Chains A and B, each alone.
Chain A
Amino acid sequence: MKEPVLIKPDGTRLDGRKPDELRPIKMEVGVLEKSDGSAYLEHGGTRVFAAVFGPKEMHPKHLALPSRAVLRLRYHMASFSVEDRKTLGMTRREIELSKVIREALESVIFLEEFPRSSIDVFAEIVQADGGTRCAAITASSLALADAGIPMLDLLPGVASGKIGGKVVLDLSELEDKYGEADMPVAISPRLDAALLFQLNGRLSLKEFDEAWELARQGCSKIYEMQRNALKNRYETYKPEEET
């Protein structure tokens, strides 16, 4: 494939977005009946289901911690989520991402309230179009809040980066592939702290500041959407009509 022109002459991107614009986002909470909490997220072409089970008894028992719960997170891409079929099972990349996402979420959950137990989170990517780790964080934290697990804050995630010499927000798969830098972050607006921070490629200090500010704004926008998704679930209830 020929390398695409990432920034058009009029300053817009491949899909017509402005540099600081997010892709269309759709969120829904409580989509899976058999889990304790669940969420579905569409972030551009990326689609994720997240499900939470627990707190429950830790198995195997010798791994239980007497002072707090153990958070276990599985980030997994479905075989059909990418263009060339992905083999089943956890790849090296998925194991690593499960770890970084878990560590980001561990710092917002009150794990000390559930000693000797485990909380299992499953983030399943059903369609991948860039930004899957950030989408997995956004969806998992929504599912945890839906399960009623006490948390410091909801955690939104979004990537910013540099493509075609310009700093932009929310990279798609093509932009990530042909761009110069990709910086996925998860910022808790309430704590005003980055709980996940990765950077692939090179950014000058000035570009970095710009990318950080874009990511911060993006995270606050997604945060508001997360809050609305949680509220909407319970405000759609209407009493029965009189007959």
Chain B
Amino acid sequence: MTIYFKEKEIVTPGQLLSDEGQKPGEGTYAEGKNIFAAQTGLVVPGKTIISVIPIRGPYVPKPGDDIVGVVVDTRPGAVEVDIGHQNTATMKVSPRLRRPPADTKLGDVVIGKISYRGLKGLFLDEREGITKIRKGLLVTLTPTKIPRLIGRKGSMISVIKRETGCQLHVGRNGLIVVSGGSPSKELAAVSAIRLIEEGAHTSGLTDRVTEYLKKA
């Protein structure tokens, strides 16, 4: 097997990653048996599939994604939520209710779940509904760095929750709501998120964040 990239090397668009006919995963494309990188990022090599985790990039919605958004329109049959994507996400309101979920107003920050993305548009799960968040700090993070914020099996996020005592609502679309007991604790959690943003592509990040929060 020929190796075309070093471990933890940052690859750039057009770089050859493999010539063994694996499946192209996210952030890559195939031409014949060759797989090339399509985005700047770190390679995840696999036996059957090769993908690139992009360092920066637009949010690509997938069904099942938890999102945080801002209500931009309420109509008798639907609520439109801005999730930082080119399309607003539509939340259909069930015909029995015939009105938006109780007390949803323009500008409200809500959490929901993506149910469909395709030719018809972008829709939120009707059964899950949307839940309004009443207080907290709304923070943005590059959508590609959200998995790093959550960490392996939620390790990173639980460190932040434990050390600051804050509650975090993390949206796959790159919006996060931090709400906690005191403003100083909330700000500590936000600076931890910023630390993850700067060092998302480096290793040993969880330890650095733990240390940082213990000092703060």
Number of residues from A at the complex interface, CB < 8 A: 37
The chain A residue sitting closest to B52, CB to CB, is A150
B-contacting residues, A159-182, CB 8 Å? none
| Residue from the list B29, B57, B144, B212 in contact with A149, Cβ < 8 A | B57
CB distance from A233 to the nearest CB of B (A): 9
Contacts A145-B40, A148-B144, A152-B29 given: A230-B10 contact, CB under 8 Å? yes
Q: Which residues of A contact B (CB under 8 A)?
A: 36-37, 54-58, 66, 108, 110, 113-114, 116-118, 145-154, 188-190, 226-227, 230-231, 234-235, 237, 239-240
Measured in the bound complex, the distance between the Cα atoms of B27 and A190 in whole Å is 17
Q: A113-B60, A148-B39 are in contact. List 8 more A-B contacts (CB 8 A).
A: A36-B58, A117-B87, A148-B41, A152-B14, A153-B36, A230-B10, A239-B202, A240-B208
> Does chain A have a CB within 8 A of B194?
no
A151→B86 contact, CB < 8 A: no
* A230–B40 touching, CB < 8 Å: yes
Q: Is B169's beta carbon under 8 Å from chain A?
A: no
- How many whole Å from A166's CB to the nearest CB in chain B? 32
Within 8 A of A (CB), among B13-55: 13-15, 27, 29, 36, 38-41, 54-55
- In Å, the complex CA distance between A149 and B55 comes to 11
Shortest Cβ distance from residue B202 to the other chain A in the assembled complex, whole angstroms: 6
A residues in contact with B27, CB < 8 Å: 150
Tell me whether B56 and A230 are in contact (CB under 8 A): no
Q: With a CB–CB cut-off of 8 A, which chain B residues contact A57?
A: 86-87
Chain A to chain B contacts (Cβ below 8 Å), 18 pairs: A36-B56, A57-B86, A114-B58, A116-B87, A145-B12, A145-B39, A145-B40, A148-B54, A148-B55, A149-B58, A151-B14, A152-B38, A153-B13, A153-B14, A188-B14, A235-B10, A237-B199, A240-B212
Q: A152-B38, A231-B10 are in contact. Are A239 and B58 (CB under 8 A)?
A: no
Tell yes or no: B119 within 8 A of A by CB: yes
Q: In the complex the two chains form, is A66's CB within 8 Å of B40's CB?
A: no
B7 in the interface (beta carbon within 8 A): no
Candidate in B29, B58, B60 with the most chain A CB atoms within 10 angstroms: B58
Minimal beta-carbon separation of A234 from chain B (angstroms) = 6
